[in-house]
Amino acid sequence: MEHRALLVVPDRGTRAALRLLLEQHGVAVRTAPDAFAALGALDEWPATVLVGSPSTAGMDGMAFLDKIVARDPRVHFVALTKAGDVATAVRAVQRGAAGCIPDPVDPSQAWETIAAALRTESAVETASVGTTRLLGSSGATAALREIIHQVAPSRASVLITGESGTGKELVARMLHEQSNRARGRFVRLHCAALSESLLESELFGHERGAFTGATARRRGRFEDADGGSLFLDEIGEISPSIQVKLLRFLQEREFERVGGNETLRVDVRVIAASNRALKAEVRAGRFRQDLFYRLNVIHLETTPLRARREDIPLLAHHFVARFAAENDKEVVISPEALGALQGCEWEGNVRELENVIERAVILARDLIELRHLPADLGDNDAHSTVRVPGSTLSEIERDAILRTLEAARGSTARTADILGISVRKVRYKLREYGIRRAPGE
């Protein structure tokens, strides 16, 4: 599909430079003199990316950005902000901008920002119904978004597997929101948190007097989810007895409340998740094979964060914007801190990254620096070198670039991406260090 960029840039020189830059990379370009003309142009020429200044596009404040985001979430707004204007950059990201380009414009840095927005495609696209989003520009994330879109309209049961913290519940919510059940309820139950008797009652409900303390009839989660979706988290933890009852429901779509004789029928789509390898549990005799096949009609797998590191910048900026808004602060993340985040293993995956960012936002005043990240963030912690007493800034910079270059297997483009600087600057520094050619390039 052809990529299109609409430029709403008042300065003629900057506009010409950006146009030349984009056309050199095969992007079709149009320009508009102000925000009002841009909104009209989008009606007849849908753009992939819009580059403009939120404060000088012919509308007050962030009104232009708000209109673009509300009009079509598929258009990625890249904000052109004055160099050093942290407050405007923060507000732009909080309002939905895909990135910011400092003015005066560095062509290499500008292209990296715009290219990231182009790669993202629907990474920040709002679901057809609802607002749950799967953020990321990696191939794994894009493939997962696509299969969610394909699978969501069906009635089939879905099994989601993956490590803890990789977003299994988020995937389940997207399946619900993009289905024809979106007007029904999305009901969640964490199976590992309850004893067998409590889990049975939570799932199927109970009649008055069914057990000690059952003083009234109670509906279960299946009844609550009638017409919608029931998400069973950590399905691998349920007992053999509950497995039998769940299997019966999946086969016959009926059940009885605990202590009751009335057979109830509901229309519920079951979405299950597990961080265990359920096939291995079946082989070990701990999980019923017939239940596994009933749940595993569609199988989705979430990818660990360490295997999709290119998603980290977008996720980090998203969490920074969210927690800054929640704490009524204006905060952005430094390239050095972002590089450190990309170098970590993230055993806790996206959930761990989210917690680290929340802590950093609280500790930082207006800029998240290396010192705001946990000291024990990981053995591959990219910011450990800065704690060497007596090191000069140039020594720290050299060490950071060379270590990152080694981790990036000699790729200057990857090194620049991790450190948040231009490829040109990486190559200039390598020449300064006497390294004429990066290994592997």
Q: What CATH code is carried by the domain that includes residue 434?
A: 1.10.10.60
What's 4-41 look like in SS3? EEEEECCCHHHHHHHHHHHHHCCCEEEECCCHHHHHHH
On whether residue 133 sits in a domain, the answer given is: no
Among 96-110, 304-318, 350-364, 378-392, the least confident range: 378-392
Q: Cα separation of 277 and 126, whole Å?
A: 31
Clarify whether residues 203 and 252 are in a common domain.
yes
Place of tokens 């962030």: 62
Tell me the DSSP string of 271-311: EEEESS-HHHHHHTTSS-HHHHHHHTTEEEEPPPGGG-GGG
Among 289-293, 334-338, 376-380, 383-387, the least confident range: 383-387
Query: How far from the centroid of its chain's Cα atoms is residue 207's Cα?
Result: 42
- Which of 310, 275, 309, 324 is closest to 378 using CA atoms? 309
Clarify whether residues 382 and 395 are in a common domain.
no
How many structural domains comprise the chain?
4
Clarify whether residues 15 and 78 are in a common domain.
yes
Determine the average pLDDT of the residues in 256-279: 92
The angle, 0 to 180 degrees and rounded to 10, between the axes of the packed helices 393-407 and 423-432 is 110
Give 394 or 310, the one with higher predicted confidence.
310
Per the prediction, the chain carries an average pLDDT of 81
pLDDT of residue 322: 83
Range of the domain at 152: 140-301
Q: Cα separation of 167 and 393, whole Å?
A: 39
Q: Which amino acid is at 137?
A: S
- Band (pLDDT 50/70/90 cuts) for residue 391 is low
Give 441 or 33, the one with higher predicted confidence.
33
**pLDDT value at 333 more than 80:** yes
**pLDDT value at 122 more than 70:** no
The angle, 0 to 180 degrees and rounded to 10, between the axes of the packed helices 335-342 and 349-363 is 160
- List, for residues 4-22, the tens digit of each pLDDT value: 899 988 888 888 889 988 9
Q: Which amino acid is at 315?
A: L
The angle, 0 to 180 degrees and rounded to 10, between the axes of the packed helices 312-326 and 349-363 is 50
Does the predicted model carry a pTM greater than 0.85?
no
Clarify whether residues 364 and 252 are in a common domain.
no
Bridge partners for 187 per DSSP:
230
Clarify whether residues 317 and 285 are in a common domain.
no
Clarify whether residues 116 and 157 are in a common domain.
no
- List, for residues 72-101, the tens digit of each pLDDT value: 666 888 888 887 666 676 667 666 677 788
User: In 3-state terms, the chain is what percent helix, strand and coil (to 5)?
Assistant: 45, 15, 40
On whether residue 131 sits in a domain, the answer given is: no
Give ∠ CA 111-116-118 in degrees, rounded to 5.
Answer: 95
pLDDT of residue 291: 96
Clarify whether residues 147 and 230 are in a common domain.
yes
Clarify whether residues 339 and 435 are in a common domain.
no
Determine the average pLDDT of the residues in 262-289: 93
Clarify whether residues 171 and 261 are in a common domain.
yes
3-state secondary structure of 103: strand
Q: Which of 346, 367, 387 is the last residue of a domain?
A: 387
Clarify whether residues 32 and 83 are in a common domain.
yes
- Which of 328, 355, 332 is closest to 344 using CA atoms? 355
Q: Which amino acid is at 342?
A: Q
Among 180-189, 246-255, 379-388, the least confident range: 379-388
Q: What CATH code is carried by the domain that includes residue 312?
A: 1.10.8.60
38-70 burial, b at 16+ Cβ within 10 Å, e below that, comes to bbebbeeeebbbbbbbbbbbbbeebebbebbbe
Q: Cα separation of 8 and 14, whole Å?
A: 10
Clarify whether residues 324 and 289 are in a common domain.
no
Clarify whether residues 328 and 293 are in a common domain.
no
Are 134 and 167 in contact by the 8 Å Cβ rule? The answer is yes
